[in-house]
Amino acid sequence: MKIRSVDVYIIDLPTIRPHQLAMHTIVEQTIILARVMDEEGAEGWAEVATIGGASYGEGTPEAIKVNIDTYIAPLIIGKKPVHYDKIMHEVSLNVRGNNFAKAVVESAMVDLVARRRNIPAYELFGGQIHKSLPVAWTLASGDTSKDIEEAKESLHQKRHNIFKLKIGKGNPYKNVEHVLKIIEAVGDQARITVDVNQAWDETTATYCIEALQEGGVSMVEQPLPAWDNEGMSRLTDRFKVPIMADESLNSLQDSFQIAKHRAGNSFALKICKHGGMTQTKKVAAIAEGVGFGLYGGTMIESSLGTAICAQLYSTIPKFEFGTELFGPLLFKENITLNEIKYENYEIIIPDGPGFGMEIDMEKVKHFSRGL
Q: What are phi and psi of 157, to 5 degrees?
A: -80, -5
First vs last C-alpha separation in the chain: 29
Sheet holding 346-348, edge to edge: 132-134, 346-348, 342-343
The catalytic position among 164, 166, 169, 270 is 166
Select from 142, 223, 144 the least CA-distant residue to 180.
144
Cα dist from 223 to 56, 113, 152, 179, 210, whole Å: 15, 40, 27, 15, 12
Tally the C-alpha atoms within 13 A of residue 177's C-alpha that lie toward its C-beta.
Answer: 7
- Give residue 202's Cα distance to chain centre: 26
- Using omega within 30 degrees of 0 as the cis cutoff, is the peptide bond preceding 317 cis? no
Catalytic (active site) residue 363: no
**Residue 303 to residues 324, 360, 369, Cα–Cα distance (Å):** 13, 11, 19
**Catalytic residue positions?**
166
